[in-house]
Amino acid sequence: MKGILIASLLILAGRAGIAAGASVPLHVTVYNKANVPPETTTRAAQTLRFLFAHSDVEIEWVAGNPEADEANFVTYTGIVNKEQERRFACRARRDIALRLLANAPASVPTAVLGFALPFATEGVNVQIYSDHIAKAATSRNVPLPDLLAHAIAHEIGHVLLRSTAHAGNGLMAAVWKEHEYGWLTKGSMFFTTAEAATIRESIEGARCPGTLSTKR
């Protein structure tokens, strides 16, 4: 009942947040290769909308075909210097291709819930490990859909901040501890003001000359 109440409050607050300001749209195509149940992905999408509405970003969540070429295509970009980083950031896709996997590779620590490819120009740029999400939700006693949404938000953050770096605490912390999980449960863990501004700029291509639209 507690999880349902929290989810309901998040949904209402998220809708109010979207209506209150001029939001930047962010298209998220979800490739559910883990067969996460629809009720879980629906609640996760609602919570994700709430989290991003706080940053004046409106999530457009679209279910993609798990067998689509894009769902099985990953590119890695090596960055050598800051000038390369700037160029690659402007070339990177400004929408999200999210892949939900049933199991993480055996070499990936349980604390790692997913990964991001901030400079990908095509293919998957966010991946989430559903088995690690389930274990963390159980051990931390938090609603699984809410944890899933926050993990997705964290990885989208990496993509649109164009960085694999982490913050000392909060949504973009490397490892979430007691206070992060407390904020998560209360629905009060968001991007910082500076992070939100950078995310909106990345979606709009504001720092990239010749950019005309928020769509790829």
Gyration radius of the chain over CA positions: 16
Looking at the predicted structure, is the pLDDT value of residue 5 above 90?
A: no
Dihedral, CA of residue 85, residue 90, residue 92 and residue 98, to nearest 10: 100
Torsion sign across C-alpha atoms 147, 149, 155, 157: negative
What local confidence, expressed as pLDDT, does residue 81 receive? 77
pLDDT at 170: 98
Rounded Cα distance, 24 and 160, in Å: 13
Domains of the chain: 2-204 (3.40.390.10)
Can you tell me whether residue 140 is helix, strand or coil? helix
Q: What does pTM read for this prediction?
A: 0.87
pLDDT tens string 111-146: 999 999 999 999 999 999 999 999 999 999 999 999
CA 43 to chain centre: 14
